[in-house]
A and B are shown apart, each in its own frame.
Chain A
Amino acid sequence: MAAVMPQLATPPVPSRLLLSGNEAVARAVWESGVRVAAAYPGTPATEIIESLARYPDLHTEWSVNEKVSMEVALGASMTGARAFCAMKHVGLNVASDCLMTMTITGAYGGLVIAVADDVGLSSSQNEQDSRFWGRFAHLPILEPADSQEAYEMTKYAFGLSEQYETPVLLRLTTRICHVKALVSVGEREAHEPAGFIKNPQRWVMVPAHAKARIPGLFQREETLRGVSETSPLNVLEPGRDRRVGFVASGPAYMHVKEAFPDAPVLKLGFSYPWPLEKMRALAAMCDTLLVVEETELLLETEIKAAGIACHGKDVLPRMGELSPQVLSPAVDRLLGKEPPPPAPAATPMKVFPRPPTLCASCPHMGIYYTLSQIKNIIVTGDIGCYTLGAGHPWNALDSTICMGATMGVALGIDKGRGEADRNKRILAVIGDSTFMHMGMQGLLNITYNKGNITVLLLDNNTTGMTGGQATPASGRDIHGQEAPRVSLAKVVEALGVAVEHIRIVDPYELPVLFKTVREEIKHEGPSVIIAQRPCVLTDGFKPFRPYLVDEDKCTGCGNCLDVGCPAIHVTRREMAIKPSGKEVELAFANIDNQACTGCGLCVQPCAPDAIQHVARHDIPIHIVKS
């Protein structure tokens, strides 16, 4: 999305809108008079700031990482401005250093942190439950169950934050963020910041000051427990069928209502601190209590610790998304009934897996094709589209942990290796956005500690995986407007890499890329190869003339398939005997010229020169102009 995104002169007309949870949160943030909103992109939270950037009268930004986004929000709050930051679950790990002290300073202007858990790992390296942070940092947690609640709770959160001078965690999950539903919305209310007041005892967190404030933290938590007890966000629905009573928050509440419309439910919207008296009232009115929570057994443990008997993860799955059909058999078992076997027709048919692929013309294919051709290397990887290099056909990545980890892991392998790995070369792959998020420190650490690492910095001029957001190296801001453009080569040089070992290559030029990688892995010391080509999903990418396969020339060697391009298809397979007597399978290929954008990567390994440009008159044209 490198295109200029126009800011709306007037916001969408207030009424009932079909909004995702992310869009609903954004709308509420805007209506709450927030002045500053910051985030680093991350699924499933990306669209919160993306849609907020379209509203007028507030500063929105892509921060370089989640910790910075939280610090920006805190600074704004210090002036009395309402402030907001949003992140995915693993982003809060990054921001937690700020969080754990910010909870002591507290908020001045309303300060809300939206954190979105990728329950079911649709696009993340782990599954984790961000509700732990409320306990760890002694902060209140609000958990909406749909878009309307996401909107309403966000607005409520700013008031709560200001009244109790506390940052508020708005805990979302994929099934809030990425569900669209009708939302009744309102208008923006102005909120003028009261002004920054110098107060070192509050804002300068040296030991003496922090020590003096920590008792207030516990006091605040107790006060909030009382607020939660009477909060209209925590609703005890008495129901009629009292055999099993449910405790549920977030999307889990909807699953409970769908499967057991007549059962008693304590719906927790203000889910931490949770209301003990309402919990006791629920327990008293039903035979058995079942806690339905995504994903850890957090409430369950606390409810048991409060002396209330309950079930939870003993009958429900410990990981992944819950659903009505997951709940029903669990409740059957609690009631001593054998759940009915699944209907045979409801069993999935056997179909091949379809893992995500790199796009046709993706510059990363050139990198992984090259790495797949080099022996005796260890390649550490990172978070982004380029993590797909671990898959077929390249199998060219050996590790992926967390944002920026490629650098530290590579150095650790270099320093830790024994005789078994003595002759191996170590490469670290990282994307441009991830590099600026958390990779720069790791590279500095490599140069400072004299690591023997070749870094492949894949500069596609965007944050690709999350849909093409601007970065400090793309020269565009969140609105698509021009912004200062940082030079990655200069950053790398400043981090201590010798100029002669900073190489800039075109990942479409396979022979040059191959030669450069060979040269730099021989160098004893740090080097950085910057591979520059824009992501094909951004406006910076201009398609070339597509290719086709001359079937008379194709020998079926299958070399082109090793590039991993989704536009290359096999037309037929044949068994053949090589001169050595070895039997091989030949795969004759063609190219889907609707999908091919002419990068030419497959042309280069094609031994018989069978891949040629489509004749100009054969290029598909669009008759209906738009």
Chain B
Amino acid sequence: MNQDTITNILVCGIGGQGVMTATEILAEAAIAEGHDVKKTEVAGMAQRGGVVTSHLRFGRKVLSPQIEPGTVQVLLGFEGAEALRWSHYLRAEGIALVNNARLVPPVVELGLFEYPEDPAGQMRAAGRRVVSFDAMSIAHDLGEIRLGNTVMLGAIADYLPFAPDVLLACIVKRFARKGENVVDANRRAFAAGREAVAKQLGTASA
């Protein structure tokens, strides 16, 4: 099996949250480190509030683009219930980094289904390693909710098989043409994301 030499990252959320862009930046970082990379998602109807998952696999040589249940090292969840939905993709020692956002769809508002009370808690109860944080309020405190995605990337930065700076460089490159203010704001958001996860784990940020 090829599985053990390959890093599998599953990014999940809802259409419009920026799941695909975040995964694209992660892919760029893996390429910068010399990895072979495959990234896939099902788009199409997903842009309209539906479920979005983006699969990222990298290593020496990647064959199948799809990640299988039970094989994910890091699950990056942009939304609580979505992280719970895909948590069975984690391998036993894998970790879920979950934004506490609670995006309730119309089918729940109509009373047809229930939204889980505490998705992260439910994952922990099932024996998963979970770090949860509120990326949106972190971004809000930084003065711009659109920084939420960079907070998310900061959160995963210390769980990659390469230095956080590699990922940060890819983020900076992407925003470079938008000027220094935007780049600085993204640097702060990246650091805040790293810090949020480190604080939860009670360890100092690397």
Using a CB–CB distance below 8 Å, which chain A residues touch chain B? Answer: 18, 43-44, 118, 120, 122-123, 146, 174-175, 178-182, 251, 254-255, 257-259, 261, 321, 323-325, 342-343, 345-349, 351-359, 385, 388, 392-393, 465-467, 537, 561, 564-566, 568-570, 573, 585, 587, 589, 594, 620, 622-626
Contact = CB atoms under 8 A, between A and B. Distances in A.
B203 interface: no
A146 B45 CA distance: 23
A146 B38 CA distance: 9
A181 B62 contact: yes
A346 B90 CA distance: 8
Contact of A18 (B27, B47, B85): B27
Contact of B50 (A343, A354, A465, A622): A354
Interface in B94-132: 104-116, 122-123, 126-127
Contacts of B92: 345
B106 A357 contact: yes
5 contacts: A122-B43, A352-B114, A356-B15, A573-B111, A624-B182
A570 B109 contact: yes
Most buried by A among B47, B109, B126, B146: B109
A566 B105 contact: yes
B50 A569 contact: no
Given A353-B107, A623-B143, A257 B63 contact: yes
Interface string B53-77: 0000000001111101110000000
Contact of A624 (B40, B81, B185): B185
Contacts of B68: 323-325
A345 B91 CA distance: 8
A352 B107 contact: yes
Contact of B64 (A323, A343, A351): A323
Nearest to B80: A351
A182 B47 CA distance: 25
A594 B145 contact: yes
A393 B106 contact: yes
A593 B68 CA distance: 38
Contacts of B134: none
Given A179-B39, A349-B85, A392 B110 contact: yes
Contact of A356 (B36, B48, B116, B144): B48
B85 A393 contact: no
Contact of B70 (A255, A345, A356): A345
Contacts of A589: 109
B41 A359 contact: no
Contacts of B153: none
Contacts of A43: 43-45
A346 B69 CA distance: 6
B64 to A, nearest CB: 4
Contacts of B107: 352-355, 392
B45 A122 contact: yes
Contacts of B87: 349
Contacts of A347: 88
Contact of B45 (A179, A259, A356, A573): A356
B42 interface: yes
A53 B70 CA distance: 40
Nearest to A145: B63
B163 interface: no
B118 to A, nearest CB: 13
